[in-house]
Amino acid sequence: MFEIRQFIDGEDVPSASGVTFEDVDPATGKVIGIVHEAGRAEVDAAVAAAREALTGPWGRLPTERRMALLHQVAARIEQRFDEFLAAECLDTGKPASLASRIDIPRGAANFRIFADLVKNVPTESFMLDTPDGEGALNYALRRPKGVIAVVCPWNLPLLLMTWKVGPALACGNTVVVKPSEETPHTTALLAGVMNEVGVPRGVFNVVHGFGPDSAGEYLAGHPGVDGVTFTGESITGSAIMAGCAPHVTQVSFELGGKNPGIVFADCDLDKALEGTMRSVFANCGQVCLGTERVYVQRPLFDDFVERLAKTAEELRPGAWNDETTTIGPLISATHRAKVLGYYKQALEAGATVVTGGGVPDLPDDLAGGHWVQPTIWTGLADDAAPVREEIFGPCCHVRPFDDEDEVVALANDTRYGLAGAVWTENLARAHRVAARLEAGIVWVNSWFLRDLRTPFGGMKHSGIGREGGVHSFEFYTELKNVCIKL
Ligand code: NAD
Ligand code: 6OD
């Protein structure tokens, strides 16, 4: 049983109120740790420490030295790989085979890439003609935005937290992180890493707790915060925006999705099946980029559904450290109730349940966990709730279509606009459809293939702004123009 406290100004700090909450292993339902909840006092202290560090040693550190420290953070995550892996898998239940390929390596890569990129960000300059003929030189400078609040979800805890902290620190900001109440563990480990490699006190701070009336709300609405970067549900984004409004705090939001996967009859069927399978079931369907609406061109439809169902039935639930495990549990009992609610609604709305739809049989040691069966439906109306609302579980609805115009209209008929996957061997079609999809990210013949230099974010209710590569620097810096009359 572990105990996690706030990390403020380089120190572990217990909650002043003495209030704690439990960290639960989603695979068993058993309590694995105790977490101290931050109140307003701890959030104030964390923001004050971050403000102080901005102008202290961190603010005065030459860029090269700052970059070197971030490389050391990455190296230290790799040295402590097994600890990060166990912590992430215990908190989320995800199989080690997944987290060791994606979550933990990205935790390190998110520091390296932005440390390298920040040295090469160009800014513009213009020579202005003036009536006296002497001219004026304009040039732009980038300065850190200040204290950044980083509010994180539970599905890819280390990956998504470092995706924000890496560029924020690379730009010279300081951060206060609020991990999800479900998954506090790897953020606490990262705090230890910051001290080990000598990141100055106050640069990286962590407050633990919930959202409303707790650390999340206090932090995101704090007047001492200069920017809030948030990943989570769209409705939470609205609440955070309202909290930011009085102080006109800038926001960067990566929000929910209801992403389409489009399988054209001219696709490479094996590739399309493998990619769709991953995009629906990876991380037990708890990936914002995941596909919950699959559209298959009619000639392929029956064969595709049958083969997708067969591979779904081959997924093996189990303990995170069992090498045969290929699917983990949902994060919490509450989330499981929500997903099972959609399973029920799908039935009531007349879906054909091609596979799954319930709860798997598991051995006694896992019976208390938050398990659900991988599930595939067909036959739902386009306006049924399971087709329109983000479920965030291991499930999808598969629907036939006839032509390109029809499927583009279906794919875009959603308030979300995060990602889309298109499966076709016709290059012209790939470009046409990618351009027409209302989504911030379109993958063609792939899914979740990431190049961290590219813009990442959502349209419509799926987000505000883009991060990734130089786009991260747009949010994490303030651009200042200097005009010099010559
Ligand atoms: P969530 O919105 O419930 O919680 C995210 C974080 O916000 C948590 O730390 C929570 O404590 C905090 N929070 C909740 N209410 C708050 C409030 N009023 N003020 C301040 N903080 C508050 O999301 P979740 O359930 O943790 O994650 C799942 C959701 O995240 C899904 O909707 C998913 O699509 C989305 N997501 C999006 C992306 C993306 O890149 N677009 C990535 C991952 C997850
Ligand atoms: O890969 C990333 O950088 C990223 N932000 C992924 C988001 C996944 C959502 O669950």
In sequence order, what DSSP letters do the residues of 44-93 get, joined into one string?
Answer: HHHHHHHHHHHHTHHHHS-HHHHHHHHHHHHHHHHHTHHHHHHHHHHHH-
Q: How far apart are CA 282 and CA 441, in angstroms?
A: 18
Distance from the Cα of residue 188 to its chain's centroid: 18
Give the largest Cα separation in the chain, rounded. Answer: 86
Which bound ligand lies closest to the C-alpha atom of 464? Answer: 1
The CATH number covering residue 423 comes to 3.40.309.10
Cβ(160) – ligand 2 distance below 6 Å: yes
Which residue's alpha carbon is at the smallest distance from atom 16 of ligand 1?
Answer: 211
User: Does 210 reside within a domain?
Assistant: yes
Cβ(453) – ligand 2 distance below 6 Å: no
Quick one: pLDDT at residue 86?
98
Cβ(80) – ligand 2 distance below 6 Å: no
Q: How far apart are CA 47 and CA 149, in angstroms?
A: 9
Domain co-membership, 82 together with 163: yes
Cβ(155) – ligand 2 distance below 6 Å: yes
Domain co-membership, 473 together with 416: no
Quick one: pLDDT at residue 486?
98
Domain co-membership, 315 together with 191: no
Domain co-membership, 156 together with 289: no
User: Does 407 reside within a domain?
Assistant: yes
Domain co-membership, 25 together with 161: yes
Q: How far apart are CA 40 and CA 186, in angstroms?
A: 23
User: Does 457 reside within a domain?
Assistant: no
Q: How many domains in the chain?
A: 2
Domain co-membership, 214 together with 313: no
User: Does 123 reside within a domain?
Assistant: yes
Which residue's alpha carbon is at the smallest distance from atom 17 of ligand 1?
Answer: 211
Cβ(475) – ligand 2 distance below 6 Å: no
Which bound ligand lies closest to the C-alpha atom of 152? Answer: 1
Domain co-membership, 395 together with 337: yes
Which bound ligand lies closest to the C-alpha atom of 210? Answer: 1
Quick one: pLDDT at residue 449?
98
395 belongs to the catalytic site: no
Quick one: pLDDT at residue 4?
98
User: Does 194 reside within a domain?
Assistant: yes
254 belongs to the catalytic site: yes
The CATH number covering residue 64 comes to 3.40.605.10
> CB–CB of 479/123 below 8 Å?
yes
Q: What domain range includes position 428?
A: 259-451
Domain co-membership, 30 together with 156: yes
Low-confidence ranges of the chain (pLDDT < 70): none
pLDDT digits (tens, 9 = 90+) for 298-309: 999 999 999 999
User: Does 346 reside within a domain?
Assistant: yes
Domain co-membership, 291 together with 433: yes
**Separation of first and last alpha carbons in the chain:** 67
Domain co-membership, 12 together with 144: yes
The residues, any chain, with a CB within 8 Å of residue 280's CB and separated by 6 or more, are 261, 290, 291, 292, 294, 308, 312, 374, 376, 394, 395, 396
Residue from 233, 459, 475 whose mutation best tests the ligand 1 pocket (most atoms within 8 A of CB): 233
The single residue of 88, 181, 217, 254 carrying the catalytic annotation is 254
In angstroms, what is the span from residue 70 Cα to ligand 1's centroid?
26
User: Does 415 reside within a domain?
Assistant: yes
Domain co-membership, 241 together with 373: no
In angstroms, what is the span from residue 229 Cα to ligand 1's centroid?
11
In angstroms, what is the span from residue 139 Cα to ligand 2's centroid?
34
User: Does 456 reside within a domain?
Assistant: no
Domain co-membership, 98 together with 246: yes
